[in-house]
Chains A and B, each alone.
Chain A
Amino acid sequence: MAAPASGGAFEGIASENEQMWGFTRPQLIALGLMLVGIVIAPSVLYPIFLMKVLCFALFACAFNLLIGYVGLLSFGHAAYFGMGGYLAGYAAKSWGLTPEACIIVGGLAGMVLGWVIGSLAIRRQGIYFAMITLAMAQMVYFFCVQAPFTGGEDGIQAIPRGNLFGVIDLRSDMTMYWLVAAVFVIGFLFIHRVINSPFGQVMTAIRENEPRATSLGYRTDDYKLMAFVISAALSGVAGATKSLVFGIATLTDVFWTMSGEVVLMSLVGGLGTLFGPVAGAAIIVSMQNYLAEFGAWVTVIQGVIFVLCVLAFRRGVVGEIGRILKVRL
């Protein structure tokens, strides 16, 4: 069976028939450009900045899986991102695990936490779902403030990057960059695979018409929970990778503003598009970096961009480009 083109916002566009690994031709071109960009960028831009972009891009892609393809707005994704970061940091520093094991620990942390919070939140829809996830994430935040292993206000500092597979020294930023790029690309392709699987089609069906999907015989709560857990696990992976890159895991990553930021990234890039969250993450992180001299004004500028997006570019940057080129991205 052929895989579908992703995204539901492009009803005016004819189905493209040429497909490869579930990508349409324009998506393949965009994927190629993105991979070339990932390879070339570190020779032009600061690798630490790029690693930050890639970590947030993976985080935003994981979040987009939930809102763009299942239609669930979670407002507590910071919990999985932050907890993934904390546990990976703790595993690296106190247990001396290798980086790849730390990233897996972070993913598992997100997965377990996502399963617990998800199975409670999934029973409600719409704004109630968002509020329950927010409340749960705030509980996780206050847990992190109190719990001894997180270091409270100080966070976990001086997390060693360690040696990949016990062999490759990651202290050099360039070596670390390739690891982060690999984690991102694997995560990105995994999300793409999920979206284009029969499971992903059921997710789309649930987003469009949940009662109908139920009356065809799907227990929709199971599918929503599964999507939630996948999204939370990948958020955990993103958080774990970020704490290894910066050598620090702090309360910022579990605070609700982080949940807001990932919503912003997905919106600016384009909800329900494959590449939107990547573009959104790049835009938001660049703004935070290059506008840092404006201090607190960054938040105001972000707010203005958010308002502009909602008013003028409702499909997000990638969504609008796709509309102009008449392709799905």
Chain B
Amino acid sequence: MSEPLLQVRGLEAWYGESHVLHGVNIDINAGEVVTLLGRNGAGKTSTLRAIMGLTGKRAGSVKFQGKELIAARPDVIARAGIAYCPEERGIFASLNVGENLVLPPEVLLGGLNVPEIHQMFPNLLERARSQGTKLSGGEQQMLAIGRILRTGAKLLLLDEPSEGLAPVIVQQIGATIRALKQRGFTVLLVEQNFRFAQTVADRHYVMDHGTVVDNVPNHELAGAMDRLHQYLGV
């Protein structure tokens, strides 16, 4: 088997004194869409932040395309081709939509150009002159995803893109993620909503207490429902 695009081994992370990740192991192959499922506080978002180097302190191993990134700064990690879309979306309020879209630097060749992003999210074209804060939640999410597609990053880390959005927008985000997969992007998705997750993902990692406790391929999801219910407590 070829080497995975992202290989995380024994990843530990701390926020100040509190130890939040206790040895996370994740493998993601190129072109896969993988979700991290788990209860609140299980360490899903922390895993994304730790991969990106945004936690205070981290240890273990994060290899991307065979390159060790555990000691790298966040901006170096971003330039290696990993893009992160945080749950709070991080739209810059005093820039307008167009400016937010072109702000991230192009780190690698092969990113989408602005017309392609507009084709994917027509709303962003209509609202190009609007201030970043004046968008609806769904539009903000589209902008947050759209702007990291321009950079040429190969691996997208999306934190709860479906959160707090109307069902029809959630469907649209789902369609977007499938479209991204077809274009060859690799996606690591944090989700609480596994009904949404199963419509987009190839595989699901289940997290609990800061570590990965299970790995369920999407086609086995139906058979694993009892286990999942126990993990997720729903």
Contact = CB atoms under 8 A, between A and B. Distances in A.
B213 interface: no
A217 B107 contact: yes
Nearest to B79: A217
Contacts of A294: none
Interface in A1-36: 1-2, 4, 7-8, 11, 14-15, 17
B131 A11 contact: yes
A15 B96 contact: yes
Contacts of B52: 215
A218 B131 contact: no
Contact of B96 (A4, A7, A198, A214): A4
B102 A15 contact: no
Contact of A216 (B96, B98, B103): B103
Contact of B92 (A7, A14, A208, A220): A208
Contacts of B148: 216
Contacts of A212: 86, 90, 92
A95 B77 CA distance: 51
Given A15-B131, A202-B103, A205-B103, A216 B92 contact: no
Given A1-B98, A217-B75, A11 B104 contact: no
A219 interface: yes
A7 B95 CA distance: 10
A217 to B, nearest CB: 3
A54 B70 CA distance: 51
Contacts of B99: 1, 4, 201
Contact of A11 (B78, B93, B102): B93
B103 A17 contact: no
Nearest to A7: B94
B104 A216 contact: yes
Say what secondary structure dominates the interface of chain A: loop
B129 to A, nearest CB: 5
B74 interface: yes
A2 B129 CA distance: 9
B133 interface: yes
A43 interface: no
Contacts of B129: 2, 15, 17
A209 B78 CA distance: 16
A201 B75 CA distance: 17
30 contacts: A1-B102, A2-B98, A2-B129, A4-B99, A7-B94, A8-B93, A11-B94, A11-B133, A198-B102, A198-B103, A201-B95, A202-B103, A204-B92, A204-B95, A205-B92, A205-B95, A205-B103, A208-B92, A208-B93, A211-B74, A212-B92, A214-B74, A216-B148, A216-B151, A217-B78, A217-B107, A217-B151, A218-B75, A219-B73, A219-B75
Interface of A: 1-2, 4, 7-8, 11, 14-15, 17, 198, 201-202, 204-205, 208-209, 211-212, 214-220
**A-B complex: 7 closest residue pairs judged by Cβ atoms:** A217-B78, A8-B94, A212-B90, A216-B104, A214-B74, A219-B75, A205-B92
